[in-house]
Amino acid sequence: MLCRKNSSCEETGSVPVYLNVYDLTPINGYAYWFGLGVYHSGVQVHGVEYAFGAHEYPTTGIFEAEPKQCDGFTFRKSILIGKTELGPADVRGVMEDLAEEYKGNAYNLITKNCNHFCNDACIRLTGNPIPSWVNRLARIGNSAFSINDKMGSFFIQFCCYKSPKKPINQLPF
């Protein structure tokens, strides 16, 4: 049965899941065309953007933001990853499950950053991964270098440091 725009039948089915990508540095304007760059990303679904950032506490680093408005970053583009059949409460449940794995004090620029979170979230929501170029620099760094904790702590300030406002487990649903 088809639903008319003004009919009382409720729309069922899927909703889009977007990856919102942000530039961390003006150099990305050039690096982007070479398939490189340093990016922050968030997953947008049901009008909410979910992202992951670092802080010094053993609580979740996942936070909610207005779509395409992540403080401290320059919005670059929105990419449709796929669709999900999950409603807002179920999406929230997925984020709460991921919150156990993505603690703010476990953030690592190379091995557990915002793009890793978005990839995991998109796979759980849609079955599809994020585009490989979004986290390419971290993969190159992981395979080319052995970065110790002191170096990782130094570089953390350039990407996703200090999760904004309230983590997901402190926000009302």
Identify which of 164, 155, 171 has the alpha carbon closest to the alpha carbon of residue 72: 164
Q: Scan for tokens 């994020």, then name that residue.
A: 130
CB atoms within 10 A of CB 147: 17
**Reduced to 3 states, what is the DSSP secondary structure of residue 60?**
strand
Find the angle CA(54)-CA(159)-CA(154) to the nearest 5 degrees. 80
The catalytic residue among 70, 114, 159, 160 is: 114
Cβ atoms within 10 A of the Cβ of 78, count?
Answer: 16
Cα 75 from Cα 58, distance rounded (Å): 29
Is 116 noted as a catalytic residue in this protein?
no
- Confirm whether 40 is a catalytic residue: yes
- State the catalytic residues: 40, 114
